Amino acid sequence: MGSLRVALVQQASGLEPDANRASLDGLAPRDADLIVFPEAYARDFGEAGSDVSAYAEPLDGPFATEVARVAEERRATVVAGMFEPGEDPERPFNTLVARGGAAAAYRKIHLYDSFGYRESDRLSAGPPEPVVFDLQGFGVGLMTCYDLRFPELARALVDAGAEVLVVPAAWVAGPHKVDHWRTLVRARAIENTVFVVAVGQPGPRYSGHSLVVDPLGEVLAEAEDGAEVVTAVLQHTDLERARRTNPSLANRRL
């Protein structure tokens, strides 16, 4: 087991799906094993409470197909957020699609019914099942934005084999929000002795501050609030060393 080069693309998505899809190729770097775009990158949420059902696409639709093409061209795995049709045609899933060296899809479990928002009015929650895939000897688990506030999901992912938690987000800006984001990302890393790769959309609407945190809580790389690409290298030996230093997973009694 060796290393994993990660790139976090902190870029805003717009209201035109064609433009967002076209931007994937120009923004994805060529020297990463795992390239992560934010939540809802295929099409932004729009005004709070907007109906996004018209922008839902299947997992073999134009956006996911382009994600796969870019991933293949880069010889990488690309993760990006989109809306996917579900059982309720008026309330699609908020989905992460992974394509390339690994293929997976994760439908957001915890919808953002908080801080005055009601994501569940327009979107359906996914099944409460952890999604983990293997990438170059690392178990990679997927979470989305508000999921970060629920340590139970992070622990379920770790129990399913995750050693890296990937968290695409559109973390709405506001009082306390950057502090909550940074604190929760570091907490999920420390309590589970895992890497956390958390990428958000930039300001002014969202909080930015995409960051990579190691299994002892050290911030390896962090963006500010503007458009930026952040890179880091995850070493499996660092994870093994952290778990020897802090064997909290082995010491669990519940």
CA 62 to the chain's CA centroid: 20
Measured CA to CA, the distance from residue 195 to residue 185 in angstroms comes to 10
Q: How far is CA 120 from CA 5, 223, 241, in A?
A: 35, 30, 41
Q: Of 108, 119, 163, 222, which one is the catalytic site residue?
A: 108
Active site residue 108: yes
Q: Of 84, 145, 163, 222, which one is the catalytic site residue?
A: 145
CA dihedral angle for residue 132, residue 135, residue 140, residue 144, rounded to 10 degrees: -90
Measured CA to CA, the distance from residue 17 to residue 52 in angstroms comes to 12
Could you tell me which of 72, 82, 81, 58 has the C-alpha nearest to residue 25?
72
Q: Mind telling me the catalytic residues?
A: 39, 108, 145
